[in-house]
């Protein structure tokens, strides 16, 4: 057991023995040595006592662990031994914790969050949002990082990039989804600090005010006719009913009644609506005709589906097809619009055309606010069915027939 004053240069020069192994003890630190084996492996070891019993601890290998780092590890182990803590057990615990941390990557914990939290209490559309925020391309580089290793800087880099691209709404949503996720992690002691805490975005999201005029709606209707297919039928039903995109896309056949009569109804269950209240939509004859024209897939209750198992979801591609069709019709360029603008357009159009009173319009789109909020909402929730049917029938006549004159629409406003 030779004793030497170990230096970094000397450690690097020491040659392996012809057989077995040799321990080179450091004169400057009792019990600390460099073990050199005939295979050329060089390891740092420490001999110390715990409760009077001599133990040997392997600290690491050279050159992965430098002499300075090995000295620091040896000092830490000696302090633990002096306090009655076996540094070997301490090391095993640290290795276990490190292995657990590697298992608890952002991607793994994101999967746990979706399964244990999102899927047990949220609607499919919201779950899709979380999946995009936690498993999408924006956070691809985070998936294999320990969830505890995602820092405030990582989050700010992501939101800053989105804002620099002018995607302020996306930045806001991404931050909201991440905040919920990381708070969930903190509640389960998976992280000690929430990296989204006190992050403020630079940009502001302006509330959308786009409302398509009657002629614009007719152009969308005509373009949807030319595009055809399940998606186009869904767009026309959005225009006719003013209901939300997700609520409409998951329409089920057993929620429809009276399609063979003049009193057709679509009953949206509470688990689908945004405000968690059941909602009944009277269907104009044009809406009924669209629904009845769609193929029925055996064993499936979904109306807007091509597979029978999942509802229509290709809205981005469909929107591009409609826009291209509108652009090719030779008319004036149409300002940018979104699918949700169709709902706002119905509300605005019913008001501007005098087709229905404000409280009827709120009832049509299932708004529990304004005139239908508070106590009034409790008593008015299930009423105005016939008024809503007349209003939606007049609206269908207005937008679904390009040759119709606006002046021919019978105003329902004075009939309330």
- Domain parsing of the chain, residue ranges: 3-102, 106-187, 214-415
How confident is residue 415, by pLDDT bands cut at 50, 70 and 90? very low
Torsional sign, CA 362, 368, 374, 379: positive
- Please report the pLDDT score of residue 125 as a whole number: 78
- Please report the pLDDT score of residue 285 as a whole number: 93
Read off the pLDDT of each residue in 187-208 and give the average, rounded to a whole number: 80
Q: Which of 155-169, 319-333, 377-391 has the lowest mean pLDDT?
A: 377-391
- Please report the pLDDT score of residue 348 as a whole number: 92
Q: Which of 20-29, 162-171, 206-215 has the lowest mean pLDDT?
A: 206-215
Residues 181 and 173: their CA atoms lie apart, in Å, by 12
Q: Which of 161-165, 250-254, 300-304, 407-411 has the lowest mean pLDDT?
A: 407-411
- Please report the pLDDT score of residue 97 as a whole number: 59
The yes or no reply on domain 3-102 and CATH 3.30.160.390 is yes
How confident is residue 203, by pLDDT bands cut at 50, 70 and 90? low
Read off the pLDDT of each residue in 288-292 and give the average, rounded to a whole number: 95
Residue 404, pLDDT above cutoff 70: no
- Please report the pLDDT score of residue 200 as a whole number: 87
How confident is residue 401, by pLDDT bands cut at 50, 70 and 90? low
Residues 124 and 119: their CA atoms lie apart, in Å, by 8
Read off the pLDDT of each residue in 404-411 and give the average, rounded to a whole number: 36
Q: Which fold has domain 214-415?
A: hpI Integrase; Chain A (1.10.443)
Percent of the chain with pLDDT over 70: 88
Residue 374, pLDDT above cutoff 80: no
- Please report the pLDDT score of residue 166 as a whole number: 84
SS3 86: coil
Estimate the share of the chain in helix, then strand, then coil, as percent rounded to the nearest 5.
50, 10, 35
- Please report the pLDDT score of residue 206 as a whole number: 56
Read off the pLDDT of each residue in 151-160 and give the average, rounded to a whole number: 93
Q: Supply the pTM of this predicted model.
A: 0.54
Residue 205, pLDDT above cutoff 70: no
- Please report the pLDDT score of residue 53 as a whole number: 87
Backbone angles phi, psi at 113, to 5 degrees: -60, -45
Per-residue burial over 162-176, b = 16 or more CB atoms within 10 Å of its CB, e = otherwise = bbeeeebebbbbbbe
Q: Which fold has domain 106-187?
A: DNA polymerase; domain 1 (1.10.150)
DSSP summary character for residue 252: B
Residues 173 and 129: their CA atoms lie apart, in Å, by 9
How confident is residue 388, by pLDDT bands cut at 50, 70 and 90? very high
Read off the pLDDT of each residue in 228-244 and give the average, rounded to a whole number: 94
Q: How far is CA 247 from the centre of its chain?
A: 18
How confident is residue 314, by pLDDT bands cut at 50, 70 and 90? confident
Read off the pLDDT of each residue in 324-350 and give the average, rounded to a whole number: 87
pLDDT tens sequence across 98-125: 666 567 899 999 999 999 999 888 888 7
Read off the pLDDT of each residue in 297-313 and give the average, rounded to a whole number: 91
Q: Rounded mean pLDDT of the chain?
A: 85
According to DSSP, the β-strands at 53-62 and 256-257 are unpaired
How confident is residue 403, by pLDDT bands cut at 50, 70 and 90? very low
- Please report the pLDDT score of residue 89 as a whole number: 81
């Amino acid at each position: 057991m030779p004793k030497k004053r170990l230096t970094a240069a000397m450690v690097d020069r020491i040659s392996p023995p012809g057989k077995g192994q040799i321990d080179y003890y450091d004169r400057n630190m009792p019990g600390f040595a460099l073990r050199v084996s005939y295979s050329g492996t060089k390891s740092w070891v420490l001999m110390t006592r715990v409760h009077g019993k001599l133990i040997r601890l392997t600290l690491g290998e050279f050159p992965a662990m430098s002499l300075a780092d090995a000295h620091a590890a040896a000092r830490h182990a000696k302090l633990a031994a002096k306090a009655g803590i076996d540094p070997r057990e301490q090391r095993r615990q640290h290795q276990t914790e490190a292995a657990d941390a590697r298992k608890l990557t952002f991607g793994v914990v994101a999967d746990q969050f979706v399964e244990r939290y999102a899927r047990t209490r949220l609607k499919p559309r919201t779950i899709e949002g979380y999946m995009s925020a936690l498993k999408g391309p924006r956070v691809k580089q985070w998936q294999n990082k320990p969830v505890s290793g995602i820092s405030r800087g990582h989050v700010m880099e992501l939101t800053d990039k989105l804002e620099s691209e002018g995607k302020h709404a996306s930045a806001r949503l991404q931050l909201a989804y991440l905040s919920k996720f990381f708070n969930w992690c903190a509640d389960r002691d998976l992280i000690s600090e929430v990296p989204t805490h006190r992050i403020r975005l630079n940009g502001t999201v302006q509330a959308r005010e786009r409302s398509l005029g009657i002629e614009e709606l007719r152009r969308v209707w005509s373009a949807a006719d030319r595009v055809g297919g399940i998606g186009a039928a869904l767009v026309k039903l959005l225009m006719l009913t003013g209901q939300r995109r997700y609520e409409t896309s998951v329409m089920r056949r057993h929620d429809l009644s009276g399609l063979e009569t003049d009193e057709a109804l679509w009953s949206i269950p509470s688990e689908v609506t945004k405000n968690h209240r059941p909602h009944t939509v009277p269907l104009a004859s044009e809406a009924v005709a669209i629904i009845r024209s769609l193929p029925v897939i055996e064993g499936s209750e979904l109306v807007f589906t091509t597979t029978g198992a999942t509802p229509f979801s290709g809205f981005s591609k469909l929107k591009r097809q409609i826009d291209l069709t509108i652009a090719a019709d030779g008319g004036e360029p149409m300002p940018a619009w979104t699918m949700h603008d169709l709902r706002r357009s119905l509300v605005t159009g019913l008001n501007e055309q005098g087709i229905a009173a404000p409280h009827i319009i709120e009832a049509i789109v299932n708004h529990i606010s304004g005139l239908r909020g508070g106590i009034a909402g409790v008593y008015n929730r299930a009423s105005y069915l016939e008024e809503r049917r007349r209003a939606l029938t007049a609206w269908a006549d207005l937008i679904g027939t390009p040759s119709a004159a606006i002046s021919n629409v019978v105003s329902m406003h004075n009939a309330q």
